[in-house]
Amino acid sequence: MELARATNRSVRLRNRSALLTRLFLDGPLTRQDLVRSTGLSQPAVSNVVADLIDEGLVAEAGAAESDGGRPSMLLRIAPRFAFVAGVDVGETRVRVELFDFAMTLLASIEYPLDPARTEPDVVAGHVLAGIDAVTGEAGVAPADVLGVGIGVSGVVEQGVEAVVHAQALGWDRVPLERLISAGTDLPLHIDNGAKTLGQAEMWFGAGRGARHAVFALVGSGVGASVVTNGATYRGASSSAGEWGHTTLVYGGRACRCGARGCLEAYVGAEAIIERYREARRGRAAPGEDEESQLAALVAAADTSATARRVLDETAGYLGAGVANLINLFNPQRVVLGGWAAMALGDLLPAVREAAGRQALRQPYEQASIELCRLGVDAVALGAATLPIARFLTEGGVRR
Dump pLDDT digits (tens) for 293-306: 999 999 999 999 99
R_g (Cα) of the chain, nearest Å = 23
User: How big is the CA angle at 179 (ends 175 and 185), to the nearest 5 degrees?
Assistant: 125
Note the pLDDT of residue 175: 94
266-287 residue pLDDT tens: 999 999 999 999 999 999 999 9
Whole-number pLDDT of residue 68: 58
Q: For the whole model, what pTM was predicted? A: 0.90
> Which pLDDT value is given to residue 397?
83
pLDDT score for 6? 53
Q: For residue 5, what pLDDT is reported?
A: 55
Residues 6+ apart with CB under 8 A from 20: 52, 57, 58, 77, 392, 395, 396
Tell me if 225 sits within 8 A of 372, measured CB to CB.
Answer: no
> What is the pLDDT, as a whole number, of residue 69?
59
Q: What is residue 283's predicted lDDT score, i.e. its pLDDT?
A: 93
- pLDDT score recorded for residue 103: 94
CA dist 299 and 290 (Å) reads: 14
Q: What b/e string do you get for 59-90 counting C-beta neighbours within 10 Å, with b at 16 or more? A: bebeeeeeeeeeeeebbbbbeebbbbbbbbbb
Q: Which residues of the chain have pLDDT under 70?
A: 1-7, 66-70, 116, 399
Give residue 10's pLDDT. Answer: 84
Confidence at residue 278, expressed as pLDDT on a 0 to 100 scale:
96
